Every structure is written in C-alpha cells, then in structure tokens.
Amino acid sequence: MLYLLYGENDLQREEALAEIIQQAGLPPDLRDLNTEMLEGAVTAATLRQACSTIPFLGDRRIVIARELLSQTKGPMAKEIGEIAAYLPDLPPSTILIFCESKALAAKNPVLSQAKKLNADIQAFAAPGAKDLSRWIVERTKVHQGTIDFNAAALLAQNIGPNLRMLDQEIRKLMLYRGDNKPITVEDVQVMAPYIQSADVIFSLVDAIGQRDPRSAATYLHRLLEVGEHPLGIFGMIVRQFRLLIQVRWLGDRHMSEPDIAARLKLHPFVTGKIRTQAQRFTPEQLRTAYQLLVDSDLAIKRGLLESETALDLLIAQLTSL
C-alpha cells in the first residue's frame, strides 16, 4: 500500500499514478471522497492524520503526497525522519503515494524505509538528447504503433525534450496513418507544419549569417505565405539568436558540443547546426543583433511599426551587420 514515484519524466510518472489509482478499485462516485492530496512541506502529524482517516463507505483510501520528500532542509528534516518512522504503521486501508518531480537522494529516510518495506518504488528519468529518438520509438510501441527511426529523429530534433508534446504528436500521427504502417518522415512533415517552419527559420538565419538579404527576405515571406503569424516568426527568430549567443559563449569557453547540447537541452544535430551558424557572427555582432531584436519588439508593441514592416526592417538590419 506504499508507492514512491519520482523523476523528471512527468508524463510517464503521472501515467503510473493514474494506473495506481485505477487499480485501487475505488467506485468512481466515492473516489474523490476517499482521495486526499497533500502538497509540499506538510508535517508528519498532518500525514499521519490523513493516512489514519477511515475510508468513507468503502475499504480503501488514497493519500497522495506531492513534493514532500525533497523538503529535507531545516525543520523539515526532522519531519521527514518522523514520516519514515511512521511508514511501518501505515493502516492497511490506506494507499500512500509519494510523488516527486525530481530524483531522490539515496540517503533520503523515506526512500530507505520504503526499500526495507518492499514498497513499489518507480523512478522516471527523462531521456537525454541522445536517447530521445529511441524514446519516441518505444513510446510509439506503447500506443500500438511503429515509427521509422528517421521520423522519430525529426520529431526529437524539432520538438526537443517536451515529452507531453511528443506524445501528442505520436497520437496524431498514428491517427493520420490509420493503416498500422510505420510513421514516416513524410508523415511527420505533413502533420507537423511547425517542423517545416523550424527548417525555414534555420535557413533564414543561415542567410542572415551569410549577409544575403535577398534570400533572407525570401525565407521570411515564405513563412508569412504559409500562414505563420508575424509575431510567431519574430519569436522564432528571437529564440534562434538567443541560442546562437548561448552556443557561441559556451563554445568560446571550450565546452564540447555534446556538453553544450546537454547544458541547453538541445538535440545534438540541432546543436551542431547552431554552432556552425554562430561562427558566422562575432560576439559583438551577436550583441548588436540582440539589441536590434529588442528595438523591433518595442517598435511593434508601441505601435510604431506594423509587425510585417518591422520584420522586413529587422532582416535588412541583421544582414548588414
């Protein structure tokens, strides 16, 4: 009746929590009445009271304690110790679930006690950038589908470590295929138009780095023609230059490409492309570019320029650095 769920992979951690609640067998009309949620730094006395409460019109009660076990500093260190000491006396009618968004220290008293009690302990680590494509392949199998590895890599490259969004895209792509055939790169390109936009943004910044105003303007208007909102395009350009500055700064301090990818939580392929682009600008030019972005943002928000006009002017300024 004791569970510990922890780790940064919130998608699968919350799925595990939902599965435990489902398997508890509480009638739907009594589930809310027999479920209590505790958040943050609650005391041992509060937890004991919640766990000791008699179930209402049933034989099971669920207590979920979120982000409690990480509260190990100051007065809470004693409380965590008392909670650990209480666990062997957990009433048989209570299902106690600790749910943490971070990994737990090996010496955490509750974790140590839970191991002694043979509790159900599940760790949910988020996949690293190198493992994200494989995670997508395995996640697609969970949904009874298959995906080509190159298609999974394309999703990983452009969406990044947002597991919930990746899961939504997998479901969408499976509905689109509808024939039990593997999801392909072409499927991803059709069903995820923002991926095409991301590629165009890379090309746009490449053109800026090569000081090619005609090509840069062409890429800009290609995005506008397919329906991208001007402010959305502006946001993508800002993000790209922010990454250029970060990657250039870290690279100039002799950080390796894999370390940069891990530090910024980027796909290694994306990191390599950004690093190549960053070499086309001096640090001073990147600072000037970011100031131009700030000036454009203010001009749009103050109504001094229409957003499309501001973008055209911005591209002209960036290609003349």
pLDDT tens digits, residue range 11-41? 999 999 999 998 888 888 888 889 999 988 8
The pLDDT assigned to 90 comes to 92
- The owner of tokens 């997998």 is 170
Q: Provide DSSP, 166-230.
A: HHHHHHHHHHHH-SSPPB-HHHHHHH-HHHHHHHHHHHHHHHHHTT-HHHHHHHHHHHHHTT--H
Q: Is the CB of residue 242 less than 8 Å from the CB of residue 229?
A: no
The angle formed by the CA atoms of residues 28, 59 and 113, to the nearest 5 degrees, is 105
> What parts of the chain have a pLDDT lower than 70?
192-196
Reading the block at residue 42, the tokens are 């609650």
* DSSP single-letter state for residue 252: H
Reading the block at residue 54, the tokens are 């008699």
Residue 54 DSSP SS3 = coil
| Torsional sign, CA 27, 4, 168, 220 | positive
Question: Rounded CA gap, 5 and 107, in Å?
Answer: 16
Question: Rounded CA gap, 173 and 177, in Å?
Answer: 6
Fold equal for 132-191 and 194-318:
no
Q: Count of CB atoms within 10 A of residue 34's CB?
A: 23
> How is the beta sheet containing 94-100 ordered, strand by strand?
35-39, 61-66, 94-100, 2-6, 120-123
**81 Cβ contact list (under 8 Å, min separation 6):** 109
Question: Rounded CA gap, 236 and 124, in Å?
Answer: 31
CATH of 2-123, one of 3.40.50.300, 3.40.50.1000, 1.10.10.10, 3.30.70.990: 3.40.50.300
Q: Where in the chain are the domains?
A: 2-123, 132-191, 194-318
Model confidence over 89-139: pLDDT tens digits? 999 999 999 999 988 888 889 999 999 999 999 999 999 888 999 999 999
Q: Is the CB of residue 269 less than 8 Å from the CB of residue 299?
A: no
Q: Is the CB of residue 210 less than 8 Å from the CB of residue 320?
A: no
Reading the block at residue 232, the tokens are 């959305």
CATH level 3 topology of 194-318: Zinc Finger, Delta Prime; domain 3 (1.20.272)
The pLDDT assigned to 194 comes to 61
CATH of 132-191, one of 1.20.140.150, 3.30.750.80, 1.10.8.60, 3.30.70.100: 1.10.8.60
Reading the block at residue 169, the tokens are 């895209």
The pLDDT assigned to 91 comes to 93
The pLDDT assigned to 290 comes to 92
